[in-house]
Structure 1
Amino acid sequence: MGFHNRRVAGQELGLRLAEWASDGQLPRPVVLALPRGGVPVAAEVARALGVPLDVLVARKIGSPGRPEAGIGAVVGDDPPLYDQRALRGLGLSEDRLVQYVAREREELKRRALLYRGDRATPDVEDRTVILVDDGLATGATARAALRNLRHSGPARLVLAVPVGAPGTAAEMRAEADDVVCLLQPSDFRAVGLWYDDFDQVSDDDVITILNGHRAQTSDT
């Protein structure tokens, strides 16, 4: 059980959210994707709902020597958000990670400029914000993104993912008003295991998808 690729996963997620929208549960929605992997998923959700699509750039903070092991995340100018249990388990202090955070902030700024150019960030005040990623593992990036969005005063904050670790999905309910996670396998292990095609999404892919969605919505 799983998904063929991110696009199909987004279509299934979009169907679930479209049911909510038809019941009036998603007033004035806007879809924000966590790049890069969340963008193809979010594009299908935004298409199903017929609503704007944009990105919220967040960066995972990796463990020294093991960058793939996320121990925190940073969004915008917010202070970095760490998994304190992971820090204790690895014997790390926040002070030791300053250079890693600075590097991720630079990459965050590069991507935000690349993806959005001179377009302003979307105004989410008093709107339903649907934050989309391709999956939930530790939840560090999603948690940091949700807290950043909460500062902007959305009327409702929804986290939507195709697949996630059951424990992480449960924890996210303390951060979002609603969590939609279609698949929560007990033997989760990693997001990519639940996709037949989990190829890396490139910067060019993100830009193409965003531009394509804007062109479609401007024509309707």
Structure 2
Amino acid sequence: MVKFKNREEALQKLYEIIDIEKIDEDTIVLAISENGVYYAKEIAKKVGFIEADFLFSELIVSPVNKDCVLGAVSETKDVVLIDELVNAFEISPDFLYSEADRIYNEKIIQYIYEYRYGDTLVDVEGRKVILVDEGANSGLTLEVCIKSCINLGAKEISVAIPLMPESLAKEIKKISDYCYFVYEIANYVDTNFYFEDRKDKYEL
């Protein structure tokens, strides 16, 4: 069974498979969740000459079932939706995009002030970006962050995540330049499940 003892072991195994030769001084490492902050910070520290930042996003849930995730919106106001679910619930695009605006104004702006003191995301235009997280469940956070980086003009997008569902890994490889996954898991349970010991929060 796939299990990491802790985040330190997951980081070490992840770092071992990253192609360091593809990293230069124009590379930026972006955490895409709180759980990804530790990895982004430590990878930047290990490489020694690159920046780390946080690309914020939030999930969009169904108005009739709060446990059902329909999409995600990022701090650049890019949106990714699960069309099958949107159609199944017969939810109008107008509602979803107004909901994305509400989430941006009520939550994402708060994150920007809390973690970045109101500063905008570091400029990624023409730069190599490495998106980092600890694991992926639906993949919506990762997909909307990739979309944001593409629209911001990133020169190259890599994804570095210790744990990935096998089916999602195949899709992400189609829309990014390089992928570094320690484990691609066929029957993915939940990211927490694959750690024996896991701390809760790190600050960038």
Same fold by TM-score greater than 0.5: yes
In structure 2, the partner of 1:125 is 125
Q: Distance in 2 between matches of 1:69 and 1:44?
A: 33
Aligned-residue offset at 1:62: 2.2
Cα gap change, 1:29 to 1:87, in 2 (>3 Å): same
- In structure 1, stretches of 5+ residues that fail to align are 211-220
Deviation at 1:83, TM superposition (A): 0.9
In structure 2, relative to structure 1, the CA distance for the partners of 1:95 and 1:132 (3 Å cut) is same
Q: How many residues align?
A: 200
Q: Which position in structure 2 is the counterpart of 1:81?
A: 80
Q: Corresponding residue for 1:150?
A: 150
Aligned to 1:214: none
Aligned residue in 2 for 1:26: 23
Aligned to 1:160: 160
Runs of 4+ in 1 over 4 A off after TM superposition: none
Q: d(CA) in 2 for partners of 1:63 and 1:198?
A: 30
Letter in 2 for 1:75: S
Larger deviation: 3-12 or 45-54?
A: 3-12
SS in 2 for 1:85: helix
Map 1:39-118 onto structure 2 (within 5 A): 39-50=37-48, 51-64=50-63, 66-97=65-96, 100-105=99-104, 106-118=106-118
- The one-letter amino acid of 1:3's match is F
Relative to structure 1, the CA distance from residue 52 to residue 79 in structure 2 (aligned partners, 3 Å threshold; closer, same or farther) is closer
Contact 2:78 2:147 survives alignment (8 Å): no
| Alpha-carbon distance, 1:103 to partner | 3.8
- In structure 1, the residue matched to 2:138 is 138
Which residue type is aligned with residue 84 of structure 1?
D
- How far is 1:198 from its partner? 4.4
Question: Are residues 59 and 196 of structure 1, via their aligned partners in 2, closer, same or farther at CA, if it must alter by over 3 Å?
Answer: same
Q: Counterpart of 2:159 in 1: which secondary structure?
A: strand
CA distance in 2, matches of 1:187, 1:143: 20
Tell me the TM-score normalised to structure 1 length.
Answer: 0.80
CA distance, structure 2, for counterparts of residue 66 and residue 41 of structure 1? 33
Checking the alignment, whether the CA contact within 8 Å between 1:147 and 1:175 is kept in structure 2 is no
Q: Give the superposition deviation at 1:187.
A: 1.7
Secondary structure class of the residue paired with 1:163: strand
User: What TM-score does the superposition give when structure 2 sets the normalisation length?
Assistant: 0.86
Using the aligned pairs only, state the percent identity.
Answer: 25
Aligned amino acid, residue 169 of structure 1 = A
